[in-house]
Structures are given as structure tokens and as C-alpha cells.
Chains A and B, each alone.
Chain A
Amino acid sequence: MKKVLRKIIIIASTLSFITSYLLHHPKIGGNIYSDIISFWYRPLVMDVRIPYIQESFEYPPLAGLITYVSSVIGRGEMIPYYNAFSTILYLFYILLVLTVFKIMREKNVPPIYIFVFLIFSPSMIVYLNYNFDVVFAALLILSLMFFEKGKYKISALLFSATTLVKLVNIILLPMLLVSLKDWKSRLNYLFYVFMPIAIVNIGLQILNPSFFKGTYLYHLNWGLENAWFVYLFPSRGSWDTAKLFSALLMAYGLLKIYLSNVGNLYERSFMLLSVFLLTNYVFTPQMVIFILPFLAIIGRIQPTFYILEGANVGIILTWFMEKDPLMPGTLPQNLALIRAVALLYMLAETYLRASGKKMIFKELIKPLASLVKIL
């Protein structure tokens, strides 16, 4: 039964991936934009140049490696490059699905949730063959699985690899360190996390002195993208303050979860990533992939999830209908706002359930009610 289910999951995942592959295929009419294809138009991929050394690239080194390998295979041709990139993403996707399936089995979570959240969820289909998010999610979930099993060295190395794809997982590090029993094991874990990161980054910095600026500082110049608080800071001139607002809000939200002692490893990871997504000044739609594996492991269907999914997919579908889709009031930003409300609700529900409370309206407005009482 287990083997049959495993096969069904692999086949279903493959079908899901093929759908995503076709949706973004550059030769199919009406294809949907993907970052993979947008990379192709850069000299980095078209002229098969070495990322960070010959050409700057705004993603961390492992993401650069995936792009470089794909471009080498593609030899300046779009379709072979696209196929190579897709194959790599497919392998990581299967790794993600099977790892989540293994964790769910160990926790006796019904397998239906893997289909709901990881295989047939609209965000997964639309944003799967799109960017490095599935690689990030696969490495992160694998790292957490090993962490839960007490295999800290391999967990730390995988965590390090995750950071080399996208830096976001760093926000989970304090949570992991706090749950280790003593300072020696914490320092050990930190060593294995940061050593590979340091070696790769220092090496690249030596080879190209502008590596750090071109790769990491590049993002600091980005403005607000699909962040709900664009409605509070509608003019571009105020976005530096919006970023400060974002940082303060994120620090508060993360601290709140770090200090709460609520939920298991996966619930806390979901809450931390949700706080990040809700407070970061860039919340691109493909980032929803970060939280989908955790929702599958938590194993609960929240009706709000479909609102989140609908809005999230709608962002890319309406993006090119607008002259300036980053501005408040446009369709993508309205959908981003709806998505944020839905995610906030899911976060609150997860938090309350994990602390043994039910998601009831009275509970949600409790702080407000006490405020009114004081007044």
C-alpha cells in the first residue's frame, strides 16, 4: 500500500510538474512569464558566462550554479536551457514531495494533504517551474527532518545549502539553536551552517571584489513588491521608510514567535516564514511555495487557504495587464492585499491552535476588547 501510494504521489507530482513546465514553455503560445526564461535573455545565460565572476547575479551561489549548469547544457539555445533548468527543478520537487511524504507518514498525517498542498495547489503548479523556490523548500524541509531526528551535522549542512539558494531560511536559525540542548551543540550547529556559506562566499569575493555588492546588496535597492503596506506608503518616494517599517514589523513578529514556545518544529517554521512573508517588503508570489510543505505536514485544511491561493495565482495572471503593477489600487496589488489578509488569518489560526486555543472571533478581538474596556 505504501509503495503504491508512493508511486501515485510521484506520478501525480510529475503530472503537476509537466503542467507547470508547459505553462511557462517559451514556445507555447500564451505562456506565462517565468524567471527562468527572463534569465535566458541576460548575457549570463545567453552567452554562457560564469555567474558572479564574469557576470553578476542577484541570487546566492547555489542558485547561480543551477543557472550556470543549465546554461552550459543549453549552449546559448533557449529550449535546451529551459529543459535543463526544468529537469533540475523537477528533481528537487520530487525530493521535496517524497521528504514531506516521509515526515507525514511518521506523524500519521493523512496523505490527502500532500495532494492538496504540494501537488494540486494552484500556486505550486503555476510557480513550480519558475524560480529557485522549490529547491529552497526541498533543502529546507530535508534539513528540518534531519534536525528533528537529531542528525544535526547533516541538518546544518543542508541548512547551509538552503541559505546558498535563498537567504530566507536564516530566520529559522534562532528557533533551531534555542531547541538545541547546550551551547556546545549550538556552536557546532552554527559552525556547520556557516562554514560552507563562508567558504563559498569568501571564495567568490576573492575572485570578484564586487561579488557581495552585485549579489546581496542589489536587493536593498528593490522597492516594495506585493507587500500589503504599499497601501500605507503609496508613493515611491516613501519606500525607504516603508522598508524601515517592514524591518521593525518583521523583528517584532519574529521575536513574538521565537519567544512564544508554541507549536512543533514545523508549525513554528510555518509561522516564522509566514511572518517573514507578511512583513517583508518583497513578497513575490512564488514565495508561497516556502510555506506549502509545512501546511501539508500540519495537516489541516483551512478554507482561507483557497483565498490565499486564488489571490496568489491571480497576481501573475494580472501582472501584465497593468501599466505599473507595483502601485496600490492595481489588480495585482489588490490581490496581494487579499493574499496578506488570508495568510494573516492562517497564521493566527495556526498560532492559536498550536497554543491549544480555537480560532474564534472573540479570541481574535480580545486585545481590542480589553483596550475598549480600559478606555
Chain B
Amino acid sequence: MSIAFLRRHLSKLDVQLAILSIIILVLKLLIINEPWPKLPPSNCTNPPLSTDCALIFDEAHYVPAARKMLMGMAVNNEHPPLSKALIILGILLFGDNPIGWRVFIALSGAITVYLLGKLAHIVLKNNVLALCSAILFACDVTSFNISSMAILDAPAMMFSLLSAIFFLKRRYFYSGVAIGFALLCKISSFFIFAALLLYYFLKTSYSQKRFINSIKEMLKIVEKTLIISLLVLLAGLAIYDYSLNAYSTPFEHLDYILNYHSTLTFKEGDVVHMPITWANPIMPFSRESYFVVKVTIDGKEYHPIAYYGMQTPLWWTTWVIFAFSIYSSILILRSKAFPDTEMLILSWISLTYLVFFPIAYILHRWVYPFYFYSTVPIIAIGLPYILGEDKFSKIILFSMTAVQVAWFIVWFPVKPQWLIDFLLKVGLPA
């Protein structure tokens, strides 16, 4: 009876995705207190910040900002406040320690896994492939790391994926509200939404006989989504600005955000990981150490804590998926149909990844490989899409998923001693 019950329920995608998300959440919670600070918060609020503050990567910006905001100060205004509000909520509930800083971000990160699976199911219309997508994304070690630390990206991704789900389900108003919250976490969430709008525009242009009708249709969608999202963003900024006396109007705040980000340009001689190195296995960017603890015993070196920003096997498939989507689009268009999934993939990759090429190479704006986090979801959906047709392709897909999981285990940021021993024994980096 209980086996039948389990079998019946475990075969449901929702249950599978929920279990996967819970596993990811548990993994995140198990390592949430590593690294733990040796200094009190009062010594870790103003720069220079010691490594003893135990702040991983950009936590050095956002955790002190959250502390100052708790004191009633308006700081870090170059970014909208919602993710920082989640960090503050964690601090209020669990104290000013790594658990407090990271708990809601980790929760957001786990929810993104579930949402990615749901999104993949809408796109791929296949439970196994959708689950595969969710595993590929969940075991993307950089995405896992980014969504485990107290920075802005995981909540932004959570709301962005929610928005994408609503958008593809044609519930545009809710999609607008969700992207509004994503913008309130991080302004660059707009790129994902722009990709959805581009996809819709291409789709409408194909289906409508007259181009003018497709613009009409597009305008309706813009009204239902973009305008709503801007209203949510402005309302959120207004609450922040008036409560902390930061700016006289949310528009002035928005002006500051836009100006600040347009001034972040690099000079000749600066070391910048250009976008071409992000998804390129031949000329990859060098692994970025977000927080690494090195231990040497008997001449053997290992890293019990090692948060890296790095490529994963999934990232290497980006250009293959992109090229395949173009090729497949041409074939489908020739047969007088609209290449729906291909256009979604192409739009998403173009506006979350390719867009950084002109930004970096022409505008010389600083770019970082972790920006690829916005592209990872569509790669995780795209790979099962191109390898989901026949049995042989599926074997490749499952093998790649296994490699992605193995990669995740090898580069897991906080390793238990048994894993370190095992990795050292088999000669893998630990």
C-alpha cells in the first residue's frame, strides 16, 4: 500500500521537483555556517573588511549594507533594496551571523530549482526532460554558490523564473508583478524579461499577417507586463526612499542606479574576464576564488571551504545549443511553422549573454563571469531540448547530467572530510 502510494506520488513531476529543491535546500543549510566570522559585526561593517569577517565574495558589500540599513542608514543605493531586505529579515530572525545573512537567499536558491523545473516542463512538455533540466541547474556549482551567499542574485532569479512561468502561461499581469519584484532585487533582471518580450514579439510577428498588428499585440503585452513591473519597482523604491530618507522621489533613485552602473568602465591594463571566456571551454576564464580556505597536511593541499566562480560542463554546451537552435529554427521555418522553443532559447541567450559582448567590448563596462547565472536556466532547458529526441541522444543527455552532478560533487564549496579524503585518494582536486 505504502509502496504503491510512494510510486504514485513520486512519479509526479511536482513531487520530484520538490524533493530535488529540498535536497538542494538541505545542502545549502548544511554549509550555511561556513565560513563563520571570528570578528564581531561591529568590526565588519566598514571597510577594510578582514577575511575573519567570513564574508564570501560580494557579501562584503551587502551584509555591511544590511547592517547599516538596520541602523536606519540609506546605503548601497546603487542596487534596489529587496534582496537586502531579505538579508535584514534573516538577521532579525536568526541574528547577525551567517545563518541570518544567508538563510532567505538559500531558500530563494532552492525555490529557483523548483521553478526552473516547472519552466522546463512548460517549454519541453516532458517530465523526464524537465527533471533533467532541474538537475542540471541545481548541480551547476557556480549557480549553487551564488545562490548560497548573501548577495542579490538568487531572489532576483527566483522572481525572474516565476515571471517567465507566468509569461509563458499567458498570465501577463502576474508576470509583470513578478518581474517587478525581480527588478527590486537586481536591476539586471530586466535582461531576462527583455528576452521574454523579444520572444513574444518574434512569435507575434510570425503569426500576424500585418506587422502593424504584431506591434499592436506587443503594445498590449507591454502594458500588462512592463508597465506593471515598473510600477512595482517604483513603489518598492518609494517605500525604501521615504522610510530611509534616501531620495526625494523613486525616479531620482532610479537615476542614481542607472548613472552608477554606466560609470563602471574598465581601463587598458585592467584584468577583465570578457564574455567570450565565460562559456568557452577552449579559452576559459581563470577560476575566480570567492572564498577559499587552504589546508596543507603532509604536503597534501586541500580546500575544506572553496567557493569558486567557474565554468561547469553545462556552460560548455552554450554555443552548441545556440547553433543548434539557429539551425533548427531555419528547418522549422522552412516547413511553415514557428520555431517556438528555439526562439525562446535564442532570445534568452542573446539578451542575457550576447548582450554583454557590446557592453564589454564597445562600452568597456566591467563585466563578470557570474553574470552568466542569468543564462544558465535556458542552457539547462536547451540541452535536454536538443538531446531529448531519440534514445541515443537521451543517453548522451543522461551522461552529461551525470558529469554535471559529478562536477558539482568535486567542486562542492564546503566539503566534509570523507569527501576530501576520497577526492585526494582518487587524485581529484579537493
Q: Which residues of A contact B (CB under 8 A)?
A: 178, 229, 231-235, 237-238, 240-242, 244-245, 252, 255-256, 259, 371, 374
27 contacts between A and B (CB under 8 A): A178-B212, A229-B251, A232-B249, A232-B252, A233-B249, A233-B252, A233-B255, A234-B249, A235-B248, A235-B252, A237-B255, A238-B251, A238-B252, A240-B259, A241-B254, A241-B255, A241-B259, A242-B251, A242-B255, A252-B219, A252-B222, A255-B219, A259-B212, A259-B216, A259-B219, A371-B173, A374-B173
Nearest-CB distance from B131 to chain A (Å)? 32
Write the chain A residue with the least CB distance to B248.
A234
B window 148-205: CB within 8 A of A: 173
Write the chain B residue with the least CB distance to A234.
B248
Nearest-CB distance from B18 to chain A (Å)? 28
Q: How far does the alpha carbon of A255 sit from the alpha carbon of B222 in the complex, in Å?
A: 12
Nearest-CB distance from B81 to chain A (Å)? 19
- Interface: B295 (CB within 8 A): no
Residues of B within 8 A of A242 (CB): 251, 255
Residues of B within 8 A of A244 (CB): 258
Q: How far does the alpha carbon of A238 sit from the alpha carbon of B249 in the complex, in Å?
A: 11
Q: A232-B249, A235-B252, A241-B251 are in contact. List 15 more A-B contacts (CB 8 A).
A: A231-B249, A234-B249, A235-B248, A237-B255, A241-B254, A241-B258, A242-B255, A245-B251, A252-B219, A255-B219, A256-B219, A259-B212, A259-B216, A371-B173, A374-B173
Q: How far does the alpha carbon of A374 sit from the alpha carbon of B177 in the complex, in Å?
A: 12
- Interface: B235 (CB within 8 A): no
Q: How far does the alpha carbon of A255 sit from the alpha carbon of B219 in the complex, in Å?
A: 8
Q: Is there an interface contact between A238 and B255, defined as CB atoms closer than 8 Å? A: yes
What are the 10 closest A-B residue pairs judged by CB atoms, nearest first?
Answer: A241-B255, A238-B255, A232-B251, A259-B216, A238-B252, A232-B249, A233-B251, A234-B248, A374-B173, A241-B258
Nearest-CB distance from B277 to chain A (Å)? 32
- Interface: B395 (CB within 8 A): no
- Interface: B19 (CB within 8 A): no
Nearest-CB distance from A200 to chain B (Å)? 32
Q: How far does the alpha carbon of A98 sit from the alpha carbon of B12 in the complex, in Å?
A: 77
Write the chain A residue with the least CB distance to B222.
A252
Which residue among A240, A241, A245 has the maximum number of chain B CB atoms within 10 Å of its CB?
A: A241
Q: Is there an interface contact between A234 and B173, defined as CB atoms closer than 8 Å? A: no
**A-B pair number, CB within 8 angstroms:** 42
- Interface: B333 (CB within 8 A): no
Q: How far does the alpha carbon of A242 sit from the alpha carbon of B173 in the complex, in Å?
A: 26
Write the chain B residue with the least CB distance to A367.
B223
Q: How far does the alpha carbon of A235 sit from the alpha carbon of B255 in the complex, in Å?
A: 10
Nearest-CB distance from B232 to chain A (Å)? 12
- Interface: B215 (CB within 8 A): yes
B window 211-263: CB within 8 A of A: 212, 215-216, 219, 222, 248-249, 251-252, 254-256, 258-259
Q: Which residues of B contact A (CB under 8 A)?
A: 173, 212, 215-216, 219, 222, 248-249, 251-252, 254-256, 258-259
Residues of A within 8 A of B255 (CB): 233, 237-238, 240-242
Nearest-CB distance from A251 to chain B (Å)? 10
Q: How far does the alpha carbon of A252 sit from the alpha carbon of B421 in the complex, in Å?
A: 62
Q: How far does the alpha carbon of A256 sit from the alpha carbon of B251 in the complex, in Å?
A: 24
Q: How far does the alpha carbon of A255 sit from the alpha carbon of B215 in the complex, in Å?
A: 9
Q: How far does the alpha carbon of A294 sit from the alpha carbon of B334 in the complex, in Å?
A: 50
Residues of A within 8 A of B173 (CB): 371, 374
Write the chain B residue with the least CB distance to A235.
B252
Write the chain A residue with the least CB distance to B217.
A259
Write the chain A residue with the least CB distance to B254.
A241
Residues of A within 8 A of B256 (CB): 238
Nearest-CB distance from A90 to chain B (Å)? 42
Nearest-CB distance from A258 to chain B (Å)? 8
Residues of A within 8 A of B254 (CB): 241
Q: How far does the alpha carbon of A242 sit from the alpha carbon of B258 in the complex, in Å?
A: 12
Q: How far does the alpha carbon of A244 sit from the alpha carbon of B258 in the complex, in Å?
A: 11
Residues of A within 8 A of B251 (CB): 229, 232-233, 238, 241-242, 245
Residues of B within 8 A of A259 (CB): 212, 215-216, 219
Residues of B within 8 A of A252 (CB): 219, 222
Nearest-CB distance from A176 to chain B (Å)? 15
Q: How far does the alpha carbon of A178 sit from the alpha carbon of B215 in the complex, in Å?
A: 14
Which residue among B216, B222, B255 has the maximum number of chain A CB atoms within 10 Å of its CB?
A: B255
Residues of A within 8 A of B215 (CB): 255, 259
Residues of A within 8 A of B219 (CB): 252, 255-256, 259
Residues of B within 8 A of A178 (CB): 212
Residues of A within 8 A of B259 (CB): 240-241
Nearest-CB distance from A293 to chain B (Å)? 28
Q: How far does the alpha carbon of A282 sit from the alpha carbon of B254 in the complex, in Å?
A: 21
Write the chain B residue with the least CB distance to A260.
B216
Nearest-CB distance from B329 to chain A (Å)? 28
Residues of A within 8 A of B252 (CB): 232-235, 238
Q: How far does the alpha carbon of A237 sit from the alpha carbon of B253 in the complex, in Å?
A: 11
Residues of B within 8 A of A231 (CB): 249
Q: How far does the alpha carbon of A243 sit from the alpha carbon of B259 in the complex, in Å?
A: 13
Residues of B within 8 A of A374 (CB): 173
Write the chain B residue with the least CB distance to A255.
B219
Q: How far does the alpha carbon of A231 sit from the alpha carbon of B248 in the complex, in Å?
A: 10
Residues of A within 8 A of B258 (CB): 241, 244
Write the chain A residue with the least CB distance to B216.
A259
Nearest-CB distance from A302 to chain B (Å)? 26
Q: How far does the alpha carbon of A233 sit from the alpha carbon of B259 in the complex, in Å?
A: 14
Q: How far does the alpha carbon of A30 sit from the alpha carbon of B377 in the complex, in Å?
A: 70
Nearest-CB distance from B226 to chain A (Å)? 9
Nearest-CB distance from B78 to chain A (Å)? 14
Q: How far does the alpha carbon of A371 sit from the alpha carbon of B212 in the complex, in Å?
A: 27
Residues of B within 8 A of A237 (CB): 255
Nearest-CB distance from B219 to chain A (Å)? 6
Nearest-CB distance from A93 to chain B (Å)? 38
Residues of B within 8 A of A235 (CB): 248, 252
Nearest-CB distance from A115 to chain B (Å)? 39
Q: How far does the alpha carbon of A178 sit from the alpha carbon of B251 in the complex, in Å?
A: 36
Nearest-CB distance from A148 to chain B (Å)? 22
Q: How far does the alpha carbon of A242 sit from the alpha carbon of B251 in the complex, in Å?
A: 8
Residues of B within 8 A of A232 (CB): 249, 251-252
Residues of B within 8 A of A229 (CB): 251
Q: How far does the alpha carbon of A342 sit from the alpha carbon of B258 in the complex, in Å?
A: 32
Residues of A within 8 A of B216 (CB): 259
Residues of A within 8 A of B212 (CB): 178, 259
Residues of B within 8 A of A371 (CB): 173
Q: How far does the alpha carbon of A371 sit from the alpha carbon of B248 in the complex, in Å?
A: 27
Nearest-CB distance from A74 to chain B (Å)? 45
Which residue among B251, B254, B258, B259 has the maximum number of chain A CB atoms within 10 Å of its CB?
A: B251
Write the chain A residue with the least CB distance to B230.
A248
Q: How far does the alpha carbon of A244 sit from the alpha carbon of B254 in the complex, in Å?
A: 12
Which residue among A229, A235, A238 has the maximum number of chain B CB atoms within 10 Å of its CB?
A: A238
Nearest-CB distance from B241 to chain A (Å)? 12
Q: How far does the alpha carbon of A256 sit from the alpha carbon of B218 in the complex, in Å?
A: 11
Q: How far does the alpha carbon of A309 sit from the alpha carbon of B369 in the complex, in Å?
A: 57
Nearest-CB distance from A204 to chain B (Å)? 32
Q: How far does the alpha carbon of A238 sit from the alpha carbon of B212 in the complex, in Å?
A: 35
Residues of B within 8 A of A240 (CB): 255, 259
